[in-house]
Amino acid sequence: MTESIGSATAAPMMDIGTVTTPVTSVQDLSKAYYLTNVRLETGFVEEKRAWLDSPVITHTRTALKTLRIADGRIAEVLDATSVVPPGAAAYDAQGQLMLPTFRDMHIHLDKTFYGGPWEATLPTQHGRADRVAQEREVLPKLLPLAEEHTAAMVRLMHSHGTTVCRSHCNVDPVSRLGNLEHLKASLERFKDTLDAAIIVFPQHGLLASDSVGLMREALQSGGVSYVGGVDPTSFDHAMEKSVDTTVQLALDFNVGIDIHVHEPRETAIPAFNRIMDHMEKNKQLQGNVTFSHAYSLAELSKEELNDIAARMKALGVTLASAVPLGKGTMPLRELHEAGVMVICGTDSVMDWWDSFGNCDILQKAHEIARLEYRSTEYDINRTLGFATGFVTPLNDKGEQVWPKAGDEASFNLLPASCSAEAVARLPVRNAVFHRGKLVYGAVPKAS
């Protein structure tokens, strides 16, 4: 076994130069193959320092391994000294760190300027109402380009190591089901490289835009995992009816709920509690509801946050966050440590709602680490989970829990020595795998 602490043999960085849209790799690997010189984390290193009263975690221990991959899964984890059978396909990870695939769990793949000419967002006078007005003008123009723009975003996601996502999709009186049809077609093109769930999303207000009928049509069309919603008080101006209608749609079509709520605590918390009241009465919703954004949680006292977190945990409510900057810091660490499932997303990507966004979910973990954790080896290591759905190489105790034989072969290879360095430095993703298939980057053949 080859062990090291804080060192890695980095593969050459891939320079995409001025290319606007990364190109999905065309390197075709064998169905079954060996991957040699893979760097895996094996534990934490504790050391004593003269100025500290007790030992602290200073580094992460790693070891080089060989993986046998077959039928989209990790069939074996072998010592680096293991001999690859003669004639077997083998590729060299070159000492790069292996991390679980990244998951973008709140993104709008159906609408973006990305893949086309640069456009920055326009100023507004009336907040989201102006954005919706602009959307009514922009959507018909972009609809014919929707599939190619979505494909460009998926390739961008792949270049940053993401192969799992949850995408909202507009259903509104302007695009009707057009965006949904194009999104389904786009995702079909990437069905072998991306696991994607769709949320049908009444961006212009479920009641305010009289979109209930369209939402039913969208749900009846199939291939939809969640019914969405947006600000039942400030958008629909009828919180109880809006929430109740959203819940009824979820029950009628046996799907989950993923609702955007940007409102302040005075209106948001009653809406959350009404949804959770429905969950208590309808067991099928438990574990299948997501509160997206939920900025109001940052306004709560510690005691109030503990109370709602306990209820969310008990009912299996997930919180989705795009890790907003420049606002009250979202209590993502507190919610995670209270047992609430926290998922992250890149949200709008270079569209008329926001000029920023790069589909890099590892950057979101980086931002959480800087906002809510100490800049220590252990704390930064733990924040990796916000990018991976809390599939991490090491558990809180420093025990190796991933990868194991039988795990899905969806992972990234990065020029980093450990998870903490990857989160802190955001290295290029040199090779991205989904179920054993190389979907971005390259790996040389083993000599």
Specify the pLDDT at position 16: 31
At 224, the amino acid letter reads V
Residue 8 — pLDDT band, cuts 50, 70, 90?
very low
Q: What is the pLDDT of residue 4?
A: 46
Task: Write out the two tokens for 201.
Answer: 């999303």
Domain boundaries, the chain: 2-101+391-441, 103-372
- State residue 412 phi and psi, 5-degree precision: -120, 150
Is 103-372 a CATH 3.40.50.720 domain? no
Q: Is the pLDDT of residue 358 over 80?
A: yes
Measured between alpha carbons, how far is 295 from 292 in angstroms, rounded to an integer? 9
Q: Is the pLDDT of residue 6 over 50?
A: no
Q: Are 73 and 406 in contact (CB under 8 A)?
A: yes
- Contact criterion met (CB below 8 Å) for 62 and 417: yes
**Residues 173-183, mean pLDDT to the nearest whole number:** 95
> Which residues, at least 6 apart from 370, have a Cβ–Cβ distance to it below 8 Å?
none
Give me the sign of the Cα torsion angle 33, 34, 35, 39.
positive
Residue 2 reports pLDDT greater than 50: no
Q: Is the dihedral angle over the CA atoms 309, 327, 113, 116 positive or is it negative?
A: negative
pLDDT-derived band of residue 122, with 50, 70 and 90 as boundaries? confident
Tens-place pLDDT, residues 316-334: 999 999 999 876 799 999 9
Tally helices (H) and strands (E) across the chain.
12, 17
What are the beta bridge partners of residue 100?
411
What lies within 8 Å, CB to CB, of 425 at 6+ separation is 416
How many residues in total does the chain contain?
447
At 288-309, the pLDDT tens digits run 999 999 999 999 999 999 999 9
Residues 230 and 202: beta-carbon distance below 8 Å: yes
Token representation of residue 280: 């208590």
Q: CA 202, CA 176: separation in Å to the nearest integer?
A: 10
Predicted pLDDT at 349: 86
First vs last C-alpha separation in the chain: 19
Give per-residue pLDDT as tens, 99-112.
999 999 999 999 99
d(CA 365, CA 344) in angstroms, rounded, equals 8
pLDDT at 257 over 70: yes
For 12, 301, 356, 419, the CA distances from 428, given in Å and listed in that order, are: 10, 39, 19, 13
Say yes or no to pLDDT of 5 above 50: no
Task: Name the band, by pLDDT with cuts 50, 70 and 90, for residue 128.
Answer: confident
256 class by beta-carbon count within 10 Å (0-12 exposed, 13-18 middle, 19+ buried): buried
Distance between CA 131 and CA 122 in Å, rounded?
Answer: 9
Per-residue confidence (pLDDT) for residue 411, from 0 to 100: 98
Of residues 13, 6, 34, 40, the one with CA closest to residue 415? 13
Q: For 2-101+391-441, CATH number?
A: 2.30.40.10
